[in-house]
Structures are given as C-alpha cells and as structure tokens.
Chain A
Amino acid sequence: MPTDAVSVGHLSEARKSPPLLAAIAWRNLWRNTRRTWLTSGGVAFAVFLVVIARSFQDGSFDVMIDNATGMLTGHAQIQNVAFADDPSLRNTVADASRIARRIAGDPNVAAVAQRGLAFALVSVGERSFGAQVMGVEPDAERVISTLPALVREGTYLEKADDVVIGAALARNLGAHVGDEIVVLGTAKDGSIAAFAGDIAGIIDTGIAEVERGLLQIPLPQFQAAFGLGDEAHAIVVRVHGLDAVDAVNTDGLGDELDYLPWQRLMPEIDQTVELKRVGTRVIFGLVTLLVTFSVFNTFIMLVYERVREFGMLLAVGMRPRAIVAMLELEAVWLAVVGVGLGLLVSTALVLAVAQVGIPLPDVGEVLRQYHLPDRIFPSLSTSAMVEGAVLMCIAVPLAGLLPALRIVRLAPVTALRSDA
C-alpha cells in the first residue's frame, strides 16, 4: 500500500467543494427532528410576520397614497422650479401642450393633464368669496382625478362656459346648479382677469377644506382669462403603479422646470408612510433578535451534545474551521427550511386574502365618506419577502457561529473524552 501524502493542491480543492459537508449538515439537521422544527418554526414565524405585516401595510399604503394623490395632486407634477415656493401666476410651464404630449408618450405614464391655477374673487349674485380657480382639461381630468366622479349635483365640465365648484363654496355662495358665476382676478400681465360662466355641477368630496376653495373651469377659458397663452402651472402625471413614478423620463425638461413626485408634493403622506415603516422595522428587529437568541441557544445545545463527535472529526484530520463551516451549513439549512416555510405560508395567505380583502365594519362608514374602500386588500410585498429571507439567512448563521467557534479552541483529546 503506498504511503505518500496527498498533495496540498488537492487538499485546498477539497476544502473549497463541500457537497458531502452540505449533505452531512442536512442530515445532521434532522438528528433531532423536534428541535429542528421548533427552531425553524421560529424562523418561519419571523419571516411570516415580516411578509404578512408588510403586505397588509403596503396594501393600505397603496390605497392611502392612491386616494391622497388621486383627488388632485396626481402621482407627479411638472412645475416651474419657482412655483413650489412661490405659487404665483407668473411661475408657469411654458409650451405646456408640447411638454404634456412628450410626457404622455412615456410608457410609464398612464395619463397627463395640464392645469392652470390662480386665486380670484368668485361671485354669485350678491355673495363673493375667494377661491382657487383651476383651469383643467375635462377629458384628461376624468382619467387623472377622482373629482369629476364626485359631482353630486349637475354634471362635470362639458361646455366652454361650464364651471364646477365645491359643495362648501356653493353653500357659502348660496349657489345652485345653473346659476351664473363670475370670476375676477389679476391676469399675468397685471390686467384684470374676468370670466363668467354657469355652474354645471357641484362637487362633494367630503373634505370641507378642499371644497371651500374649489372651482374648475376649462383650461382654454382659464388661459384666455388670465392671459397665459399656452402656459400652465402644472402638468399632472398619473403613472402605471406607484413604483413607476421615478422611472418617468424627465430628460430635457431644462432648468426652468421641475419634476415633483408625490413624495415632494405631499411630504406629510411620505413621512407618515416612512414613520410607520420604521415602526414596523423596529418590531421586526425585535422578533429577529428573539429568533436569533433561540437559534443561539439551539446551537449551544447542539455543540455541547456533539463535542465527542467533533473530537473524532478533528482526530481523523478535519480542520477545526471545516467543522465550524459544517455547523454553519447546518445553520444555513435551518434558515432555508424556516425561510421557505415562512414564505410559503405567508404568500399563500396574502394571495388568498387579496382576493376578498378584510372588511373593516367598525370604520367602514367613515372610510366610505372619504371615498376610501371599506376593506383592506394586502399587496404581496416582494421587498418584505427578500428582506425577511435575507435577514434570517444572515441572522441564523450568525447566531450559530458563536457556539460553533468553540470548536476552534477544542483540544481533540478533551473532546474525545467528553461524556456529552
């Protein structure tokens, strides 16, 4: 029998390719079936919690953002760079029709609408109130905004001299559908801007703050009255899904114009969403910590029980680091089982609930008043799935590493004499 030693090259090759180690690790995992299921169940629960909570949260956020942006703001707007700080009549988007057509051609964009905005005195009969006059493209507004669908009386804008107003403004003015309404303001050149039309419809949003100053007229009449030509104050953009907001090609807008996603238009909504997400992450962090302690405890027991076996592996020539690697593979398998289980159950549950939604009977009436759905529909959060899986696949091996590192300091002879 030849007695020559194996070359170092072969050794390093073997230590880089651990298929048998992976097989041993997998089989070792099932030496104590109950413990493995309990520990991987903890991992699965953490992943389940992350995916379920985030999916329900994202579902409610999507509805909240869609409703908040759907009434007026849109998913994004193109404005003059000065308009956000100084929303005066002068700060316009020049050549608005051309820019609107260009943006509408972007595959991420679902609809585009130009708007003109001005503050003016509005009069019906003897009563006058200040209001924000909005020049709109009626057909585009029907696609981009929920306001046209909220006309309580009359119709939305159909003729050139039609005007729609908010219900609160109508009450303040004592106005009704069919009444003549006069708008008086200052045009861009400083001259008097005047427009007279008939109230075609009254909009009921359920939000008094919005209705109190709401008045819409067709954009061409607005531009003519306020001396704007082909200028507008905002090009409102609706995209195919919130994720597409940042994907819209805004190259070529120039220094004069700014593309404002909903997060900049409605920072309070963005901050609310972010705050809730941070809170959820803190809870996930605590759950992960608990799971990590559970895995840590499992590995302390596991190493203690198998000290003699590790002594044998050291004695037959396995390097300490290779044994640690084998234990880490066991931790990885544990994470894979737990993560797989957690993803499977949570995905199935989210997809099933997404079909019917969860009714909110106690607050449904209030939600309906604000034209919000009275059910929560979870939206399967792929980012939560990835985050949960990655988090566990890092946390579990890390939790196993500390007990496993004991092997590096283990004297083979001591380990072989162990009674554990």
Chain B
Amino acid sequence: MADDVVVVCRQLSRIYDDDGVPVNALDGVDFDVTRGDFVSLAGPSGSGKSTLLNLIGGLDEPTSGNVVVDGTNLADLDQSQRSDLRLNKIGFVFQSYNLIPVLTARENVEFIMQLQGVHAAERHRRAIDMLSSLGIGDLGDRRPGELSGGQQQRVAVARAIVTHPVLLLADEPSANLDSKTTEGLLDLLRTINREHGVTIITATHDPMVMSYARRRVHLKDGRIESDERAGALTV
C-alpha cells in the first residue's frame, strides 16, 4: 500500500440477517482513501454508507473482503486490538454527539487522552487548548446536558481530534444541527482537514456536508454508484 493511502477496502461485503432474510448492505466494494482527503459518502438510507464507515472504523466486521487502515489489516486484530487502533488512529464524530453525560466538556476530551496514558497535567492543558481552538474554551466546565447541540458536536470533534488521529470518521454529523451550526461545524472540519492534515470520511444525506468534501462518493444498494472529485466524475 502506498504511504499516501490511509484506507484500503477490497471486495468489501456485509450481509445482515433481518429475521432470517439476508440483506446485502454492502456488495463487493473497492474503495481507497488517500491521506489528507476529505471524503463524503452519500446515498439514500440503506445504500451502505454508514455500513462502509463502520467497517472502516472497525465497529463492524465484514462478511467478506478486507479493510486496511494506515497499513493495519483489521481482519488481523481482535476486539481489544481494534479498540487500540480506534483509540490511537481513528476519531469518531456521531450524529447524536455521544458524549459521556456525567463528565464535563473538558473531562470528555481528557478521558480519551487518559485512555492513551497521557499524564494528567498534559491532558488537562491539551484539552483546554483544544476546546479553546474550537471556540468553546469557556464551556469546559459544563456537562453535555448544559450545552446546545452545536456546542456538544464541537466537544465531540475536540474529543475526536485531540488524540491526533490519522482518520476522522463522521456519521451524519449535521443531522441534529441547524444550517448555521452545520456551516460552523463544516468550517471546523475543513480547517482540521486542511491545516492539520487529518483525513476525513463522512457519511451524510446533507448536501451542505457534501459540498465541503473534496471527494464525493455516492452509494446505492451497497455499491459505489459514482466517485466524484473536484469536478471530475469517475465510476
């Protein structure tokens, strides 16, 4: 695998069992992502975009095929090793933020670093710096329930990137946000992508999210229907 390719998917299939009926969520997909890219996976519900994202993140296991992330074949890893890979190389941003409700914004960001073994003083400093750089430095002592949706999503982004991941996976990151907050979030993701070189893959229905991506992959019925980059269209 070339050094500039961070994700390699080969003949990736995922068949779910729906009350005895096999459902082909992903059907032999080949998909590569180069380092530093900003990719949006689009398509209607059931097209396989979230399934692809979950397989790349090691949250789900393919029925057949391979996923390689930053040179590591996920098939070679057990569940704990996949946890370690996610902890150190992949950041997640979820549709419903998924912050730890009993921790403050700063503690949510610190928590991930503690899992990594970062010492208390350093993780405290880095969490404050990260929240400040995302414009929510004054909200560090608030718990998720005391924050708006947009603020929670920023905390989630801070948590995802504070560990310096090679890959940021965002599943419908704008689904619960209004258009103005979405725009702010996308500006933030673009900055992270451009200035920090973090590869971003997002699964979305939202045209605004797609418009921020440099590469737009359209899925339908578990297959890649179109793969568009900077005005060019490849299939």
Contacts and interface: CB of A to CB of B under 8 A. Distances in A.
A315 to B, nearest CB: 5
B5 interface: no
A24 to B, nearest CB: 6
A11 B113 CA distance: 10
B24 interface: no
Given A320-B80, A416-B94, A24 B198 contact: no
Nearest to A21: B114
Interface stretch (B40-48, B82-90, B175-183, B221-229): B82-90
B37 interface: no
Contacts of B136: none
Interface stretch (A1-9, A116-124, A240-248, A352-360): A1-9
Contacts of B163: 6, 317
B4 to A, nearest CB: 13
Contact of A317 (B87, B100, B103, B107): B87
Nearest to A10: B117
Contact of A3 (B60, B118, B160, B165): B165
B1 to A, nearest CB: 16
B60 A413 contact: yes
A31 B60 contact: no
A309 interface: yes
Residue picked from A9, A24, A309, A315, most chain B C-beta under 10 Å: A315
Nearest to B85: A317
A312 B59 CA distance: 10
Given A24-B103, A319-B83, A1 B198 contact: yes
Contacts of B84: 11, 317, 319
A317 B88 contact: yes
B118 A10 contact: yes
Contact of B115 (A4, A14, A315): A14
A29 B179 CA distance: 37
Nearest to A18: B114
Nearest to A411: B60
A31 B86 contact: no
A308 B95 CA distance: 13
A5 B54 CA distance: 21
A2 B197 CA distance: 9
Place the interface of chain B in its size category: 35 or more
A281 interface: no
Interface in B138-172: 159-161, 163-166
Place the interface of chain A in its size category: 35 or more
Interface string B53-91: 010010111000000000000000001100111111110
Interface in B82-140: 83-90, 92, 94, 98, 100-103, 107, 110-112, 114-118
A1 B117 CA distance: 19
B10 interface: no
A136 B102 CA distance: 75
Nearest to B95: A416
Residue picked from B59, B92, B112, B115, most chain A C-beta under 10 Å: B115
A315 B57 contact: yes
Contact of B100 (A7, A24, A315, A413): A24
A363 interface: no
B57 A4 contact: no
B57 to A, nearest CB: 7
Contacts of A416: 59, 94, 98
A171 interface: no
22 contacts: A1-B164, A3-B89, A3-B197, A6-B163, A9-B117, A15-B117, A24-B111, A27-B102, A27-B103, A31-B101, A31-B102, A309-B98, A316-B86, A316-B160, A318-B87, A319-B84, A320-B79, A411-B59, A411-B60, A411-B61, A412-B60, A413-B60
Interface of A: 1-7, 9-15, 20, 23-24, 27-28, 31, 308-309, 312-322, 411-413, 416
Question: Which 5 pairs from chain A and chain B are nearest by CB?
Answer: A317-B87, A10-B117, A1-B196, A14-B117, A27-B102
Given A1-B196, A14-B114, A316-B160, 6 more contacts: A1-B192, A6-B118, A9-B117, A31-B102, A319-B84, A412-B60
